Amino acid sequence: MSDFLVDTNHLSVVVTEDYPLRARLLRHVQFDDTFSIAAPALTEFLFGIQMAPRAQQNMGIWTRISVLFLYYEIQIADAEYAATLQVDLRRRGWQINTVDALIATIALRYDLTLLTTDKDFSRVPDLKVENWLMPTGNVDE
């Protein structure tokens, strides 16, 4: 059993019924893997699918599959750690935006593997990352 946190770029394709990642995710749910979403990623995702030309269809699909996910809210300690993470990375010459820092913080706090294509996460110490949209499963470097 594995526990994953899904970034927006992986989440956005789950409303496309014939997309391979959607099928892979649904297969993993059957094997008791868990998939979670942090509140900032959920906001980005919902905005994106509602702005698309097929917004109504997207929301209908999302309503049906949203029950497969666990959800994490942002706590005060998460906000504090995310800010510290941003400062630390910037001092090293790297940047991570606030939404991504919050997502990374949730993944670290709950020991989740982050599913993402975003290379900015590769700079976050101790963060486990996988990219299911690439054939190798590695994050873009």
Alpha helix ranges (H) inside the chain: 8-11, 20-30, 39-51, 55-65, 76-91, 98-109
Share of the chain above pLDDT 70, in %: 95
Per DSSP, the chain holds a count of helices (H) and strands (E) of 6, 5
Cα gap 95→105, rounded to integer Å:
15
Averaged over 86-98, what is the pLDDT? 96
Q: Terminus-to-terminus CA distance in the chain, angstroms?
A: 27
- Residue 141 has what pLDDT? 38
CATH of domain 3-130: 3.40.50.1010
The domain spans of the chain are: 3-130
- Residue-wise pLDDT tens digits, 110-123: 999 999 999 999 99
- Residue-wise pLDDT tens digits, 8-59: 999 998 998 888 888 898 888 888 899 999 999 999 999 999 999 999 999 9
Task: Write down the pTM of the prediction.
Answer: 0.91
